[in-house]
Amino acid sequence: MDKKIIKRKLEGEITSDKMDKTVTVAVTSIKVHSKYKKRYKSTKKYKAHDDKNEHKIGDVVIIEQCRPISKDKCWRIIKKVK
């Protein structure tokens, strides 16, 4: 029986492209406070692999979790949304 590996996918905006073959992607999610039930935005930054250095600041991309590429980087860019 084959097990299908499900990889996490996130959508976010590129905030930095200063590193070689690496971009920083800010992913915004909406969370709900457990006691007060108020919704609030939470932003987390991920370092993603960009092999050809083709993505720039402001691009909205989809990233997928992969094997560790470096100490901090375990995400890769799949495609550009806009």
Per-residue pLDDT of 34-43, as tens digits, reads: 999 999 999 9
Tell me the C-alpha distance between 4 and 62, whole Å.
Answer: 20
Instruction: Determine the average pLDDT of the residues in 62-70.
Output: 96
Tell me the C-alpha distance between 39 and 44, whole Å.
Answer: 16
Is this model's pTM higher than 0.85 or not? yes
Please list, in sequence order, all residues whose beta carbon lies within 8 angstroms of the beta carbon of residue 16, skipping any fewer than 6 positions away: 23, 24, 57
**55 near 61, Cβ under 8 Å?**
yes
Tell me the C-alpha distance between 49 and 23, whole Å.
Answer: 7
Give the confidence band of 3 by pLDDT, cuts at 50, 70, 90: confident
For residue 20, pLDDT over 90 is answered with yes
For residue 10, pLDDT over 80 is answered with yes
